[in-house]
Every structure is written in C-alpha cells, then in structure tokens.
Chain A
Amino acid sequence: MIKAKHDVDVLEKCPTGIRGLDEITKGGLPRGRPTLICGGAGSGKTLFAMEFLMRGARDYGEPGVFMTFEETPEDLAKNFISLGFDLPDMMSRGLIATDHVYIERSEVEETGEYDLEGLFIRLGSAIDSIGAKRVVLDTIEALFSGLSNTAVLRAELRRLFHWLKDRGVTAIVTGESGDKTLTRYGLEEYVADCVILLDFRIKEQISTRRLRIVKYRGSSHGSDEYPFLIDERGFSILPITSLGLDYPVSTEHISTGVPKLDAMLDGKGFYRGSTILVSGTAGTGKTSLSAAFAAACLRGERCLYFAFEESPSQIIRNMGSIGMYLARWVKKGLLEFHSARPSLYGLEMHLVTFHKMIEEFKPQVFIVDPISNLSAAGTTSEVKSILTRLIDYLKMKKISAFLTDLTHFGGSLEHTSEEVSSLIDTWLLLRDIEHNGERNRGLYILKSRGMAHSNQIQEFLLTNQGIDLIDIYTGSGEILTGSARAVQKAGEKASELACRREADRRLRVQERKKDALEAKIAALRAEFDAESQDLHLMAEEERQKQAVLAEDRLEMARLRKVEPSAVRRSARKRRGKGE
C-alpha cells in the first residue's frame, strides 16, 4: 500500500500481535503476502496461525478467514477457547470466517483434467463475506493426501499463492516439516517471502519450543533460534539474544536489608540495577540473605522471588523463624514467589518464564534462589548463556538481581559452577568456618564493582531478630568464631581486667613513691631553710656586732672629745688600718 517516492514497494508489515514476534521480525509479517509456518507435529503451527488471526481481528481491526483442512469447526472452536478466544462470538460479529475443507481420497474419483477453482471460490467468498485482510490455510498439504494428481496440485498451489498476493491478504500457510525439507511437500518453493520454522525439541526428557525465521525477503530480521512459550495467553517469543552492553546504570544505592552489610558496602549497600551473587555451601544462609534483600518491599518496591528449591510457604515459614515476616508483603502484592523445579522444563523455557513474569510483575528486585540448580536443566555453557541473557535483560530494565549459587563441598568457593562470576557486580561469599568441633558462618565480599567495600570476614549470625554480622576475632593469628570467639572474648576480658589491676597497682606504688619523695624533699628543704636561717641570723649578728663596734668607736671618740678633724683623721686611720 505504501509506495516510496522512488516507485519501489517498501515492504509493509502486518503486526501479528504475538508477543515478541513483531520485535524479531521488526514489525510483523509481510503485508499482503503469504508466510509459511512450518514445523513438526505439535509444534504449535495451528496455534500460531490462530493467534495471528485473532489478534488481527481483535486488536488491529483486520478480519480474517481461517480455512482448515484438518479440523472440524467444533474442534477449531475448542482450540480457540484454549487461547481465550471465543470463536463463535467472533464469527457472529463478522470478524472471523471459517471454512472446513474436507477431502477424503476414498470418496473421490479422479478422471481427466481439473483445477482447484472450487477452493479459490470458497476462499474468495469467505474473504468477501467479512472483508478479510488475513487468511490462514491450515494445512493446505492435506490436499496432497486427498488428491493424486500432484502436477495439477503444484500448479494450482503456485496459482493460489499468486492469487492470495493479488487479493492483497496477509496469509499464513502452515506446513508439516519433512525429513530433509522444510515441509513435506515443498511448500517453501511457492511461498518465497517469509518462512518461519517452529521447532519442538526434546533433550534429556526436557522439551523446548523454538522459533526461527528461515527467510524473510526484503527485510532484516533476527536470525537466531528464539525459545517460545505457549500458555493460556498464547505465544510468547523472546527477542533475547539481541541485547548489548549499553544499558543505563544507576548511582543510587539500595539497602541489602542487613544494616551491617550495608556498612561493609561503602556504608550504603548495593547499586540499584546491579547483579549480586551470593555463593556458599549448603546451609550457609543464602536463602536468609535473599529474604533480607526481599525486604526491599519495605521501601514499597516490588520483588519477584524465583525459588528452585523450596515452596513459597516453606520459605515464608522458615524466614518467619528468623524474624522476617514475608507473608505480609505477599499479601500486599509487593512480593511474588514463583516456585518450580528446575527440571520441570528446559533452560530456554526458564528464561521465557523469567521474562514473562518480569514483564507481568514489573519488579524492581529479582531474586533467583539458587541459580546453580539450573545446571540440572542444561550444560554449563547453556546455563551461562541463559544467565548472561537474563542478566543483560535485567540490567536493561534496571532491575536489581540477587542470585544465589550453591557451591559444593570440596569445590572451590571462589568459583561458580555456572562460570558467571564475570557477569556479577557484587559477589558475596558465605562460608563455613570450622573450629573446635563447631561450624560457624562467615561472610565476606569477594568483589563489589564501583565501591570501596570492606575486606573483612564477618561472622554471619542468624538470630530470631534477623541477620546479624559480628566482627570475627582475628587476634592471635587465628580466626575464631562462635563459642571459640566467645571464650576468647571472655578470656580477653579477664586478662584485660588483670592488666588494668596491675596498672592500678603500679600507679599506686608510684603514687606512694612520689609521696615519699615529696616528703624527703620537704625535709631537705626544711633543713636547708633552717641552715639558711641560721646563716642569716649569724650575718645579722655580725652586722649588729659591727654596728655596735662602730658605735662604740664613735662613742669613744666622743668620749675623747676630739675635733671633727680628729674624727676625720681617726677615720683615715681606720681606713689605713683596714689596708
């Protein structure tokens, strides 16, 4: 319909409304052209076609014709209901028309030349009856088993696809997979525009559905195999491999739910949107730490908790025992648990489920406990690829991810069985510390990108008021935890007390010494004072004696009645005497 300026048809696309498909195909199926959907039995071809038709009729205002070669209209209606579409209602509203084409070879004799004009007429009249824009032929290959003249059939199929194009309807033609070819009867030869392959694989008893766009003429498209899910809401296909490393980052910190752990992480906690891994052996408190983080609900955030080992009620009960009451968040709709055995379905399926749940629940915090169980559903490289895609996706969505990893005894702790350590932003390690016939838990931060985190091992305590972290005793060259730490602490306290007493005692001795010294000093001073006083007295006496002598001399002179000159003379004499 849309013509570009250069008189070249720009491929217009017809949105399918199928979740994920329009992203992979960058807009939908080629409008006005037939698309071949091929796949084995039970791969979901019919459901795919149905959803395409129904969503077209309901969401895009494009009525559709469903021409079935296999199922009766009653069966068809049942199938539609399974996806939540009410076929009879849609038909009565003129949105969908169906036609059941039935051909039984034993009832039909072929003689001479014929063509399939009857089919064209039927299809044409169905299209005209509702003004259909979409057509499904499911599956036209049935004609091959009904009619023996394949030369005619092939010529007519070719004509049919041309005819569909001429009518300008967007058509889906389904076809059963052949041994070596995409379809058993080579329908792909006729439908040259777009071919989609649905695959249903079972590996180690676990099935995965996958979708691949084999070809899409005139359009770029994702070329990977995309896992998909069929549930009561139809198809979900995930364009999951096309994520890059250009997600936005946040500088906001969020609490870990354990104040002391926040303190270890630069005093603020994790970055929002970062990926946190907690690894540890069994029983080291991974789930408890997860539950503490789930307390993000306290901030009014939504938290999605995937439990691969325990049922939600069991987690709620167990966490209640350490003072974390999760049930209230569940009740408020802030916390949602999803429990499933990892072996329930394939890895891709898990990823699809993650995506679907995240899309639906829109959490800010996402917890998987534990990721190590996923390895039961695939090989290491598969698990890694799945987790990479999951983590990328979560980062795109700025969802903080909290993953736990169960490491096995004997294995290296600083190694994840899924080899995802490089994808992790903050890695906490929980470990057992065995000492003196006692096992205690220790926690430390192996890494935490973008923050100055503590390098200390903390003892990790589960109390009935929640999680507590205590500095580990690292005094005399060994690490002590638990009762050993308590004993050590008591011992230290005792010796500290003793030390203090000793110091006091010494202080007192010193005090006494000082007193004694001061007394001595006082005595010496008194002696000295006494001496100096004596000295002073003596000097005074002497001075008085002199004074008396001088007076005596004056008295004598006066008595001798000498003239003043005589007094002077006598004074000179005295001076001479003194020389």
Chain B
Amino acid sequence: MKAVSPGKGKKAKTDSTEEIWNLRLYVAGQTPKSITAFANLKKICEDHLAGKYRIEVIDLLKNPQLAKGDQIIAIPTLVRKIPEPLKKIIGDLANTERVLVGLDIRSVSK
C-alpha cells in the first residue's frame, strides 16, 4: 500500500458522481514484468478511464502478508476492488483487449 501511485494528481480527480475505480496492482519488486504491467495498466486507464481511477501498487516483497488477503498467487496480478464484483487479471497486461474484457471496461467507456 505504501508503494503508492494513485495515478498522479490530475487523474485522481472526482468530477462526476461515477465511482472511482480502485485498482490494485500486486508486484514483487521492480521486475521487468512488473514495470511492463504497470506501464500497460496506466496506458489502458488513461485511454479508457481517464480521471476516474486510482491505481495502488503493492510490492509484496515489502508487504508479503498482503498477498493472503487478495489471494495473490501470480505476479503481477491486477485486482479490481471497486467497482464490485472483484476481478483479477494476472500477467503483464500486454493484451489490452483481454484486460478490457477482464476489467469490464468496454461497457463503461461507451
């Protein structure tokens, strides 16, 4: 939780009544896969959820006990906490299409 990166100030603004997407990205240190995943995630959010998302990056090397709560097995794992229901996407999020499907973003952005 300490490895914060709440999508930078400008993206975190809450200009509408729509809820803010709360996304958690679990990583284990600065591995190439983690960096790729974070970059991919940021791009997708900017493209589709501009202004209404918040990304929390959790480094399990620093907070291993957090892995249990969200049932993290694979790294990197993206967890959509809000909106419900909880969704999980594992991998470096290279396939944007699947990420959108996995997060149910397409319907939202339309």
Q: Does A107 contact B (CB under 8 A)?
A: yes
* Interface of chain A, main secondary structure: mixed
A107 vs B33: C-alpha distance when bound (angstroms): 21
Chain A residue contacts of B60, Cβ below 8 A: 117-118, 121
CB–CB A108/B90 < 8 A: yes
Q: Does B94 contact A (CB under 8 A)?
A: yes
CB–CB B67/A118 < 8 A: yes
Check A122/B74 contact, CB under 8 A, given A108-B90, A111-B95, A117-B60: no
CB–CB B73/A110 < 8 A: no
CB–CB B33/A109 < 8 A: no
Check A109/B87 contact, CB under 8 A, given A102-B71, A118-B73, A143-B73: yes
How far in angstroms is the closest Cβ of chain B from A176?
Answer: 19
Check A114/B90 contact, CB under 8 A, given A101-B73, A109-B101: yes
CB–CB A113/B68 < 8 A: no
CB–CB B76/A114 < 8 A: yes
CB–CB A112/B75 < 8 A: no
Check A118/B65 contact, CB under 8 A, given A111-B94, A111-B95: no
Find residues 49-98 in chain B having any chain A CB closer than 8 Å to their own CB: 60-61, 64-65, 67-68, 71-77, 86-95, 98
Check A118/B86 contact, CB under 8 A, given A109-B98, A111-B94: no
Chain A residue contacts of B77, Cβ below 8 A: 114, 118
Q: CB < 8 Å: which of A102, A109, A112, A147 contacts B94?
A: A112
0 or 1 for each of A234-276: is its CB under 8 Å from B? (1 = yes): 0000000000000000000000000000000000000000000
Check A116/B89 contact, CB under 8 A, given A99-B68, A111-B94: no
Nearest-CB residue, chain A, relative to B91: A112
CB–CB A109/B64 < 8 A: no
How far in angstroms is the closest Cβ of chain A from B20?
Answer: 21
A173 vs B71: C-alpha distance when bound (angstroms): 20
A102 vs B73: C-alpha distance when bound (angstroms): 9
Check A110/B90 contact, CB under 8 A, given A115-B74, A121-B60, A143-B73: yes
Kindly name the residue among A108, A110, A111, A113 whose own CB sees the greatest number of chain B CB atoms within 10 A. Answer: A111
Chain B residue contacts of A109, Cβ below 8 A: 87-90, 98-99, 101-102
Chain B residue contacts of A315, Cβ below 8 A: none
Q: Does A223 contact B (CB under 8 A)?
A: no
Check A115/B75 contact, CB under 8 A, given A109-B90, A122-B64: yes
Chain B residue contacts of A222, Cβ below 8 A: none
Q: CB < 8 Å: which of B64, B72, B86 contacts A107?
A: B86
Chain A residue contacts of B94, Cβ below 8 A: 111-113
Q: Does A125 contact B (CB under 8 A)?
A: yes
Q: Does A484 contact B (CB under 8 A)?
A: no
Nearest-CB residue, chain B, relative to A122: B67
Kindly name the residue among A114, A119, A146 whose own CB sees the greatest number of chain B CB atoms within 10 A. Answer: A114
Q: Does B28 contact A (CB under 8 A)?
A: yes
Q: Does B37 contact A (CB under 8 A)?
A: yes
How far in angstroms is the closest Cβ of chain A from B48?
Answer: 15
> Contact residue range for chain A?
20 to 34
A445 vs B38: C-alpha distance when bound (angstroms): 90
CB–CB A107/B88 < 8 A: yes
How far in angstroms is the closest Cβ of chain B from A559?
Answer: 182
CB–CB A124/B64 < 8 A: yes
CB–CB A116/B67 < 8 A: no
Q: CB < 8 Å: which of B37, B65, B89 contacts A110?
A: B89
Chain B residue contacts of A122, Cβ below 8 A: 64, 67-68, 72-73
How far in angstroms is the closest Cβ of chain B from A35?
Answer: 22
CB–CB A108/B89 < 8 A: yes
A112 vs B98: C-alpha distance when bound (angstroms): 9
Q: Does A103 contact B (CB under 8 A)?
A: yes
CB–CB B75/A111 < 8 A: no
Chain A residue contacts of B91, Cβ below 8 A: 110-114
A416 vs B35: C-alpha distance when bound (angstroms): 79
CB–CB A111/B73 < 8 A: no
Check A116/B73 contact, CB under 8 A, given A108-B89, A111-B94, A111-B99: yes
A115 vs B37: C-alpha distance when bound (angstroms): 12
Chain A residue contacts of B31, Cβ below 8 A: 117
CB–CB A121/B64 < 8 A: yes
Chain A residue contacts of B75, Cβ below 8 A: 114-118, 121
Chain A residue contacts of B72, Cβ below 8 A: 118, 121-122
Chain A residue contacts of B88, Cβ below 8 A: 107-109
CB–CB A103/B73 < 8 A: yes
Nearest-CB residue, chain B, relative to A129: B65
Chain A residue contacts of B90, Cβ below 8 A: 108-111, 114, 147
A553 vs B4: C-alpha distance when bound (angstroms): 193
CB–CB A118/B99 < 8 A: no
How far in angstroms is the closest Cβ of chain B from A536?
Answer: 150
Chain A residue contacts of B76, Cβ below 8 A: 114
Kindly name the residue among B64, B76, B87, B92 whose own CB sees the greatest number of chain A CB atoms within 10 A. Answer: B64
A304 vs B72: C-alpha distance when bound (angstroms): 55
Q: CB < 8 Å: which of A99, A101, A113, A117 contacts B28?
A: A117
A122 vs B77: C-alpha distance when bound (angstroms): 14
CB–CB B61/A121 < 8 A: yes
Q: CB < 8 Å: which of A99, A108, A112, A116 contacts B37?
A: A112
Nearest-CB residue, chain A, relative to B70: A118
Q: CB < 8 Å: which of A102, A112, A121 contacts B95?
A: A112
Nearest-CB residue, chain A, relative to B32: A113
A114 vs B86: C-alpha distance when bound (angstroms): 20
Q: List 15 A-B contacts (CB under 8 A).
A: A107-B86, A109-B88, A111-B92, A111-B93, A113-B94, A114-B74, A115-B33, A117-B74, A121-B60, A121-B64, A121-B75, A122-B67, A122-B72, A125-B65, A125-B67
Please name the 10 residue pairs, one residue from A and one from B, whose CB atoms are nearest each other, closest first.
A109-B102, A112-B94, A112-B91, A125-B64, A112-B92, A117-B75, A118-B72, A111-B98, A117-B28, A111-B95
Give residues in B with beta carbon < 8 Å to A: 26, 28, 31, 33, 36-37, 40, 60-61, 64-65, 67-68, 71-77, 86-95, 98-99, 101-102
A109-B99, A112-B94, A117-B31 known; 14 other A-B pairs, CB under 8 Å? Answer: A101-B71, A107-B88, A108-B88, A110-B90, A111-B93, A112-B95, A113-B33, A113-B92, A114-B75, A117-B74, A121-B28, A121-B72, A122-B72, A125-B65
